[in-house]
Structure 1
Amino acid sequence: MSFYSLGLSKPLLKAIEANHYTQPYPIQQEAIPAILKGKDVLGIAQTGSGKTASFALPILELFQQAKPARSRNVKALVLVPTRELALQIGEVMQAFGKALPRPVKTLAVYGGVSINPQMMQLNGTDVLVATPGRLLDLVSNNAVRLSEVEILVLDEADKILHLGFKEEMDKVLALLPARRQHILLSATLGADVEKLVADLLQDPVVIRVEEEASVPDLITQVAYQVGPEKKGPLLRYLIREKDMQQVLVFTSSIRTADNVTGKLLKHGIQAAALHGDKSQGARTDALTKFKAGKLRVLVATDLASRGIDIKFLPYVINYELPRSPKDYVHRIGRTGRAAAQGEAISLICPEDAHHFKIIQKKMGKQVPLLPTDELDLAGQ
């Protein structure tokens, strides 16, 4: 199946080609026609499954036939849990929408930065991508009105609820008109998400992308057995030995992310940390440089990793394992995208061995565990 069979117009198809999208992902094949028909959609799919384009493309298409937003009355609202994801979705919408006959104005708003520039840019915005807290700040300042929202998208709904946005979500929903189209996307379908589905969606088209599809065969997985004291030297050895020019390194804490980054810089390896204690300016700068290939190593925590979407990222390294197998899948799913090969490497200390076995069992894949005793880590 191609994008040409999904009911999209020629200008949008040209934009899709210009952005090097070739074949639609399974979730896009089902979601795009359903959204174009005005149906509610529930998508259960892991990261890397093409969720953003599955709603961005049909929204842009629908708005080609609609009048531009009036003043500060947005027409589509996309709620997300993190700043990075807001920026990512905003970039995708802008990339597809900038060359269309009727330009669709998209704006991403989030906390951690001054609210005034966001307030100034809101006029005439069609699609607003927002974190719940900043959205309510803008509403309280009369900078945006939600009474004319036609489409509501909840992206990573499980994460929104997990991060404690429920009270803010209730306030936002109370400001929306009764008649609207809903698109709810989530990696999991827990009790909280099921309640959202029951409360909001009317006879939805349900799309499930099997979890195994989020670990594509294009990702080569390997693990190294290492003692805690040799983790840092091994990381630097691998970066140099494999001549990694763009690698995303995951840690489980802010403190470790800063420590790893500091050691990399001390040993002459260009690196930056990405986590919640960094200013928004620093986070945006690091992410922009990394995506552009101007930063060799990005050291990130799981929360900050939301929104890191790079088509041809060659390497991901788990410096520390995440708590859950699903987070492991999310991490390694940053690589092996857009039909490009990727390698996911995990550094396994003795105390990690049991947990790593559980991750492999849940994944349904055996990962080679290589010894490091004979590697020359001196000077690393």
Structure 2
Amino acid sequence: MTETDRLRRWRLVLGGESADGTGVTLSGDDARMDGALDRLYGGGGGDRRSGRRSGGLGDSAPAVARWLGDIRAYFPATVVQVMQKDAIERLNLTRLLMEPEMLEAVEPDVHLVGTLLSLNRVMPDRARESARAVVAKVVQDLERRLAQRTRSAIGGALDRTARTLRPRRLADVDWNRTIRANLGNYLPAHATIVPERLIGYGRRQQAVKRDVVLCIDQSGSMAASVVYAGVFGAVLASMRSLRTSLVVFDTAVVDLTDQLHDPVELLFGTQLGGGTDINRALAYCQGLVTRPADTIMVLVSDLYEGGVRDEMLRRVAQLTDAGVQVIVLLALSDEGAPAYDHDNAAALAALGVPAFACTPDAFPELMAAAVERRDLKEWAERTL
């Protein structure tokens, strides 16, 4: 890299303030790239007394659409998604997201879907179809990335939970259990074990082996988690060996199980925002449990309880005492460390209920570990 290239890059980073020290004047694509950055981030670090105007995109959807076209032309998709998210937050573009021409220009991602879902109730009809197309594209991308891994991991785990004493193939033999069962048949002279009794994995059956209840907090801070949970719920519902229910809540509780066949419709059935009543949601989910020993209940929430905290903890204790495997995910997203109620998380841990954040890529393995009833705290410490 030449000294000129180095100064040009520093000029793009520093934004052209009078004291940036580079002395570089931009032209061509560099100038247009700098303009796109300046409209979003310009003036944020300057002297407010200087009167320099801060960044802005103008109060019209066409201006925003042109800006979106610029950033897609000059930056990679991952950077575009970050800039879109920053524009929505920094420049209050929520209202303009309801314009069809802007939605046609936007780069779809999970964060945008969360914003659109929060606007669902106030979105005009002319923008609703465009918004639905954006959501559908993101959902299809997520399903393509996550569905096969989920079915493979959980399907394999379900097969391993079944046992047979007459495995038909060597591939069906569970050698760890077979060796433990035949330790009494060890022959020191030959340094070997005679396996009088074989223990194998059972063949896949169509009967329902596990009930899964997804209980999803749809308060505003959980937007990305709601999107991922909806997609995973649809994938789990497609597996015949699982009986999957999906419930969303804020201060009210809505059962969306009958929409699991259509994750786009399911997501539009959510209503992001509002308060949080975890106790009320758990009370409803408790009523869905008919086979406690074969039920996995996944609560996705930041645990900021607006309802009766003591009653929530008692209800969790009742579920675990009955044999339900309760898992608390503080976030189901790839956004990094989430904000959550540490006191409630500690109280749940004291009840033997693990509470941790989980990335979408790790969720299939988490559910496989839950099916096999492994120690999930140990799994989380090792994996996450």
Say yes or no: TM over 0.5. Answer: no
Q: Comparing both structures, which one devotes a greater share of its residues to helix?
A: 2
Taking structure 1 as the reference length, the TM-score comes to 0.28
> Which structure: larger Rg?
2
- Greater relative contact order (CA < 8 Å, ≥ 6 in sequence): 1
